[in-house]
Amino acid sequence: MLELRRIVCPVDFSEFSVSAYRYALSLARHYRAKLFVQHIVELGHHPSVYYAPSADSFDEFCRGLSEKGKEQLKAFVKQYTHEEIEPECVVQQGETSDAILSFADAQKADMIVMGTHGRRGFDRLMLGSATERVLRKASCPVLVVRKPAHDFAGPGHERDPVRLGRILFCTDFSEHSRRALDPALSLTEEYNAELTLLHVLEDIPGPSETAEARATAMERLEKLISPEVRKTLRVKTEARIGKPYQEIIRLALDTQTDMVIMAVRGRGALDLAVFGSTTYRVIQLGPCPVLAVQV
């Protein structure tokens, strides 16, 4: 099952960071995990630093940027933390994705929770180069949060503003996707959510094969979870035909899914051909956060 002891949440003070931070807080509370809130100061965003007349001036300017970042991060945490969680604030200088990855590895993080601006279109750069690189290189699951299409805060949830009522787990029946099932089951149990298991069929030869292929897929979905576990969780199964990313997004929209969980082949194996085909498009175009589980 999913063990969350240390969570890293990078923030840049945007509205997307606010959404991601709320998810990180919720997960930290549910799993009693240590939460690190990280802000990275990129000198490249401050070109005047390179025109400092001396080494002392350069160092002083860099210290000033870091101090300003610490003040902003402290104010951010104070504004959006309304519960018993006491996050540890970390401000670093460097390139964003490198800093996130190295810090997460150093802390042996069990999850990275980060926001992304995510815009329309399929240009790989539109997701955000930092988000993309973290997804490709992280050694732990990464929860990517855009501003949700539907409000995740429900009445009576002031202590925990995040509501995970419906979780969608996507599988192609490979060993990789099976390894992502444990986090899906853990989050479903922890948040008392409803879990839907989805398999999307592609390239069905003709109408006569459709019914048989769907029946076979449904049977395989049923076998993913033992009868004992089914007694304690609310589980549905769904087999659809079409392009995987389109059907995943369509089902998430139809059911107002609160989180999609997908396996990705992390580090060296996750190239653009794999990442761009399904995971990237669901993250970029989908209506809710996506938990990408590195396998």
CATH code of the domain in which 272 resides = 3.40.50.620
pLDDT tens, position by position, 133-183: 898 889 999 999 986 545 554 443 556 778 899 999 999 998 888 889 999
**Portion of the chain with pLDDT greater than 90, in percent:** 57
Do residue 136 and residue 220 come from a single domain? Answer: no
Dihedral sign of CA atoms 16, 9, 141, 260 in order: negative
Output the pLDDT for position 44: 57
Do residue 122 and residue 174 come from a single domain? Answer: no
Do residue 135 and residue 178 come from a single domain? Answer: no
Do residue 82 and residue 32 come from a single domain? Answer: yes
Q: What distance in Å separates the CA atoms of residue 264 and residue 269, rounded to the nearest whole number?
A: 9
Do residue 141 and residue 162 come from a single domain? Answer: no
pLDDT tens, position by position, 36-78: 999 998 865 555 555 555 555 667 777 778 888 899 999 999 9
pTM: predicted TM-score of the whole model, two decimal places: 0.87
CA 72 to chain centre: 24
Output the pLDDT for position 38: 96
**CA quadruple 103, 141, 282, 226: dihedral, nearest 10:** -170
Total number of domains in the chain? 2
Domain that holds residue 15: 1-147
162: its two tokens: 């995040």
* Range of lowest pLDDT (55-64, 68-77, 101-110, 208-217): 55-64
User: What rounded mean pLDDT belongs to the chain?
Assistant: 84
Do residue 164 and residue 134 come from a single domain? Answer: no
- Give the mean pLDDT of 100-124: 80
Do residue 164 and residue 128 come from a single domain? Answer: no
Do residue 138 and residue 171 come from a single domain? Answer: no
Is residue 276's pLDDT more than 80? no
Output the pLDDT for position 123: 39
**Alpha-carbon separation of residue 164 from 189, 190, 204, 260, 288 (angstroms):** 10, 9, 34, 11, 11
Q: Is 131 exposed, middle or buried (0-12, 13-18, 19+ CB in 10 A)?
A: buried
Decide which of 101, 122, 147 is a domain's last residue: 147
Model confidence band, residue 202 (pLDDT cutoffs 50, 70, 90): confident
pLDDT: is 6 or 177 the higher one?
A: 6
Do residue 202 and residue 268 come from a single domain? Answer: yes
pLDDT: is 199 or 50 the higher one?
A: 199
Decide which of 147, 171, 190 is a domain's last residue: 147
N- to C-terminal Cα distance for the chain? Answer: 14
Decide which of 112, 127, 147 is a domain's last residue: 147
Do residue 42 and residue 182 come from a single domain? Answer: no
Do residue 179 and residue 59 come from a single domain? Answer: no
